[in-house]
Structure 1
Amino acid sequence: MVTRLNPYLSFRDSAREAMEFYRSVLGGELEISTFRELGMPVGPGEEDLVMHSMLETPGGLVLMGADTPSSMEYSPGGSISVSLSGDDTAELTGYWEGLVEGATITAPFEVAPWGDLFGMLVDRFGVTWMVNGPAPE
């Protein structure tokens, strides 16, 4: 098996909604397992929260996520960004347009000083995304 580096996002109680949103933007197959399904003990009312989810797109993108039980410390956002980059401007523009729904744009999706098409946003779940691709000709 090839070694891969996959972003693994943490949420308090919105992992299912977030991962379904990312599937609507990125496409692909989404697998979701709850704490109940995997027999993991959590606090009352948390049994149906997401213990593990994995979104895998036909193009090979992999994004994982889970809810953080109330018994564990949770610090949203902060020190990590998910970056999408490539050569397909139309594909990257489509991702940007999907992610921008309910997001706070921190850098508009436009030609950056280094010549690429670039944008940055914090999505409605508190996750920072960067999208970078070739400038339109």
Structure 2
Amino acid sequence: MVRMNPYLSFKDSAREALEFYQSVLGGELDVSTYGDLPEMGADPAEQGLVMHGQLETPGGLTLMAADTGSMMQYVAPTSGITVALTGGPDDLAYVTAAYEKLADGGTDVMPFGLAPWGDHYGQVTDRFGITWMFNVGTA
């Protein structure tokens, strides 16, 4: 089965971001550092940076992230990229809690609430600069 998953890029805060997302979304987090793979040729000062991190949430979302070592060019998140967290009526409490935690310290907040088209909807750019969109359908 082919899957499409968000892969977030950070300069040097991937571990902090992934641990925050785990506290928000739950799930199992697996992190590999550049030091775990010396063949990557990372600068010795960057051995603790995340080469690959993967969060598997209880609801089936896979969120991946990495730090950008000095051997690569860092590209900051843009407003054109959004992580969408969506669900149905049974997911309202989970998505509402995730929205509230991601909005804490976030910017560009569009309150999560009932939208004109009948779904619950909201948006936020979290403290790491990642833009999230939330949509929960109603019965």
TM over 0.5: yes
Alignment partner of 1:96 out of 88, 93, 99: 99
Find the aligned partners of 1:50 and 1:17 in 2 and give their Cα distance.
10
- Mean alpha-carbon deviation: is it higher for 124-133 or for 104-113? 104-113
Q: Count the aligned residue pairs.
A: 135
Structure 1 residue matching 2:36: 3-state secondary structure? coil
Moved over 2 A (4+): none
More helix by share: 2
TM superposition shift of 1:116? 1.2
Instruction: Supply the RMSD in Å over aligned alpha carbons.
Output: 1.4
Alignment partner of 1:113 out of 89, 103, 116: 116
Find the aligned partners of 1:73 and 1:54 in 2 and give their Cα distance.
21
TM superposition shift of 1:28? 0.3
Find the aligned partners of 1:80 and 1:113 in 2 and give their Cα distance.
24
> Could you tell me which amino acid in structure 2 is paired with residue 43 of structure 1?
D
Find the aligned partners of 1:133 and 1:58 in 2 and give their Cα distance.
17
- Given the two structures, how large is their TM-score scaled by the length of structure 2? 0.91
Whether the aligned pair in 2 keeps the contact of 1:41 and 1:47 (CA below 8 Å) is: no
Whether the aligned pair in 2 keeps the contact of 1:29 and 1:57 (CA below 8 Å) is: yes
TM superposition shift of 1:134? 2.8
Stretches of structure 2 that go unaligned for 5 or more consecutive residues are: none
TM superposition shift of 1:44? 4.0
Q: Which residue of 1 aligns with 2:60?
A: 60
